[in-house]
Every structure is written in structure tokens, then in C-alpha cells.
Chain A
Amino acid sequence: MAITPIETRIDTRRLGLLTRLGVLLAVVALAWLAALWLGASGDRVDFAARLSPPDAHHWFGTDVMGRDLLARTLEGLGLSLRIGLLAAALGTLVALGLAVVSTLNRMADIGVGLLTDMTLGLPHLVLLMLVAFALGGGPQGVVLAIALTHWPRLTRVLRAELLQLLNADYLRVSRRFGKSRGFVIRTHVLPHLAPQCLVGFLLMFPHAILHEAALTFLGFGLSPGQPALGVMLAESLRYLSAGHWWLGVFPGAALLAMVLTFDRLGSAARGLFVPRETMP
């Protein structure tokens, strides 16, 4: 009977996290749908309504070419989501690959360790700009630059997890029960790594989006023609001093909201799938 309260406590905690995860995912899905639905109308130019402040017709106002800022912001969010998804997925793959390599032998471990330290030691943004520039900018430049600079933290986590796992008594025991290597990897190793990868991926997402915007803002990322949030923020700089505040505030706020949403999403997922690390 002393067990009951413990189980209910854990269940309500999990339930709360699940709810939060669901709500956040719904928010992201909604943003995506809105981007698909409204996004295209953000390209419609209307010089009669240029630089009009937010009103009932244009909730976020319009930009210098009279394009609806709400539609453009949503389109930018959609683009950021796609780029973030791709970059974070690639980054997670790189991290997983390097983590597996580092457990193969001692030399490989030292090599991966050096590479990790080197990448972490360099200023993030400088490295991002270098890679993006070297790859010629554009969407693939941004995606690769982010994927190639965001793996070290996750690599360390996964490497530690793998090492601990490979030395675990229960793996040895399983093998001694006559279980095959495949069975052990499938039932003991992967279920431990998969949540770590998913959480790492979700936590990498906001960084990817933020850095995509930063790169684009600085002119090393997406081309000015694309409706990216970074492009809109860079454009808004010229008009902010003239009092056209909505050009910067709304895209900026949207970016912030999305980054925060994904940060929360990652934290909730971590609490759900890797509870050991979030226990008080």
C-alpha cells in the first residue's frame, strides 16, 4: 500500500509532461499549417498599402512593398521549421555517428574527443559563417553549416551513454543468457539511445532556427529574396528608426516564440524519456 502514492505521483508527472508535449506539438503543427495556408499571400505586392501600421486588415502591418507582414512572418516560420528540421536531423546523425565511432577503439575515441574540443573551442558563429560561406550560402549551405557545428554537445552525451551502456552488467548478463548481439542491440542499447537522440534533436532545433536567422541576418545565409525571418529582420533595420516598429517586432517575436516553444518541447521530452537526468 505504500506503493500506490509513488505510482500515482509518477503517473501524474508523466501525464503532465505528455500533455505539455501534445500542446506544444499542436502549436508547431498549427504554425506549419498556417504557413502553408497563408504563406503564399505574403508574396503579393500592394504598393497602395505600403508600410501601413497594424490594423484590422493587416494584423501585423505591411512592409515597404505593401506585403502583408503576418503572412510573411508565417511563411518565414515555415521556412525556418523546414531548415531547422533538416539541420537538426543531420546534426543528430553526425553526433550519433561520431559517438559510435568514438566507442570503437582508443585512437578513434581520442580523435573524436579532439574534434569535439576543437569545434567547441571555436566561436560558434564564426565557424557557422565560415562553413556557410565556404559552401556558398543558400539553404543547403545553412543546413550543412548548422549540422556541422551543432553536434559536439550531443556527441558527448551519446558517447558517455554508449560507453556506460556497453559496460553495463545487464548487457553481459543478456549475452550469457545466450541472446544474440542483434537482440542485445535492439532491446538493450537502442531503447536507451533513441530517447537521447530524440531529445538531443529537439534541443538542437531552437539553436538551428536561431542560427539560421542569425546567419541570414548577417548575410551569409539565405538570399534576400527568400521570406526568411532573418531576411525580414535585416530589412527592418532600415525602417526601425523611421518609426516602423512592426517590421522588427512581429517577426522577432515570432522567432522568439518558436525558439521558446521548441526549447520547452525538448525539456518536456527529456523529462518524459530521460527521467533520470531531470529528477530533482
Chain B
Amino acid sequence: MLEAHDLQFTHAARPPLLSRLSLRIEAGEVVGLYGDSGSGKTTLGRLLAGELRPQAGQVTLDGNDLPKQGLHPVQRLSQAPEHAVNPRWRIGRILHEAWTPPDAMLEAFGIGRDWHSRFPHELSGGELQRVNVVRALAPGIRYLIADEISAMLDTLTQAELWRALLGETERRGLGLLIISHDTDLLARLAQRCYRLEDGSLTRSPVSLSSGTSSPA
């Protein structure tokens, strides 16, 4: 269980971004998070992943503090896949940095064998994002924070990515926090949804908006 207790976070010399914020994600659960730009969604994601330290409150994993070294059980995927890969490495080496993904998984995520010899700039943003997702799914990870990972993809690619990712998280019982602007997407994917506003979360009904016609 990944839990945030009474998180407080303020970027230097600004009004508090998050105040007394609590959130709980169970293993195998898919939680959605949305909110206006600048409301602190990414900051919350980084706090949950242990990349940032809250000024007050704490993030715990099964009641313990987040580990400080070794493979981090909470991995975060960011919006800009091209920044998360070394531009001098070939895709094969990038994929294998954390672990050796089995062929079946590469196939499920539509990662071509011929990509291995290419450099990141020779893949599209969507292709690179899939590489990042697979790389982060190393054995030993428990929670995944997907921060706008499909925003730059077309609808079809989005649907494929989420189908593969949800299949994998379900099979392994991984907890997933999806951060997105796209409330329709969240309505389709998440079991619970929250809106982040003025530093705190409000629970939203699962059918967030009228439309169920959109992607996923």
C-alpha cells in the first residue's frame, strides 16, 4: 500500500502547493488524478515516488519509509520520454538498463526487434514512451506513477499503450496512479479519481464527464 500522510509542500517563496494532503493507493489499484495546470499534480507524483521530500507529512510503502537505495519500488514515468533516455545509447541498451524484458512483453507493447539498434532520436515520441514504460516495469517495482504519459499520442496508440500497461499491472498486482488532463481517459481506466485543487484532493465520481466515447 502506497500512502501519503498529510503532505505539505511549498516551492521556495511561493504559496503552499499542497497542504495536508493524504492519498492511499492499494496494490493492484488504478487511481486517477487530474487538475488544472500548475495545481501540483506532477509535484504530488514526485513526492509519492520519493524524488522530492515533503516539508511535512510522509510517504510510506506498506507502513515503512520509502527505500533510499536500490531499485526504487515506486517508478515514475514522465511526460517527456525523450528526456528520460540517454541520447547516446541505443534502444537495446536503454531497454536493458534496469532489467531484461521478456520478448512477450516487448511484443505486447509493440516494441520492434529492429528498434534495438536505433538511437532515441530515430524513434517517435510514442515509440519512445513505450520503451520507457517497459524499462520501468522491472521485477521488484510495486507502484507506477504515469504522469501524462499518453498526452502526445494519437488515440489509437494511446489505446494500445494503456491496454498493454493495464494488462501488465493487473497481472502483477501493481498499483498505478494515472495523472492526466483527460478526464474521459481517467473515467475509462481508473477505479477511483481525484481532482487536485488548491492543494488538496477531492474524490470525484468515476463517470467524470458525460463522454465515454473517448480513447482507451
B83 near A178 (CB under 8 angstroms)?
no
Bound: A210/B128 CA distance, A: 47
Cross-interface CB contact of A179 among B75, B88, B97, cutoff 8 Å: B97
Asked if A168 CB lies within 8 Å of chain B CBs, one says yes
A177 near B84 (CB under 8 angstroms)?
no
- Per the CB 8 Å criterion, the residue count for chain A at the interface is 17
Bound: A263/B174 CA distance, A: 56
Known: A170-B85, A170-B86, A192-B88. A178 touches B69 (CB 8 A): yes
Within 8 A of A (CB), among B137-181: 138
Cross-interface CB contact of A172 among B51, B69, B118, cutoff 8 Å: B51
Bound: A168/B122 CA distance, A: 19
A20 nearest CB across to chain B (Å): 22
A188 near B75 (CB under 8 angstroms)?
no
Residue among A3, A169, A173 facing the most chain B CB atoms (10 A cut-off): A173
Asked if B90 CB lies within 8 Å of chain A CBs, one says no
B97 near A177 (CB under 8 angstroms)?
yes
B78 near A174 (CB under 8 angstroms)?
no
Asked if A176 CB lies within 8 Å of chain B CBs, one says yes
* Chain B residues near A170 (CB-CB < 8 A): 83-86
Bound: A6/B98 CA distance, A: 29
A178 near B72 (CB under 8 angstroms)?
yes
Asked if A191 CB lies within 8 Å of chain B CBs, one says yes
* Chain B residues near A174 (CB-CB < 8 A): 97
* Chain A residues near B105 (CB-CB < 8 A): none
Bound: A1/B43 CA distance, A: 41
B88 closest partner in A (C-beta): A191
Bound: A3/B116 CA distance, A: 13
* Chain A residues near B97 (CB-CB < 8 A): 174, 177, 179
Between A and B, 22 residue pairs with Cβ closer than 8 Å are: A3-B122, A6-B122, A7-B122, A168-B83, A169-B83, A169-B84, A170-B85, A173-B84, A176-B72, A176-B75, A176-B76, A177-B71, A177-B72, A177-B98, A178-B69, A178-B70, A178-B71, A178-B72, A178-B98, A179-B97, A191-B88, A192-B88
Using a CB–CB cutoff of 8 Å, the interface residues on chain A facing chain B are 3, 6-7, 168-170, 172-174, 176-179, 188, 191-192, 276
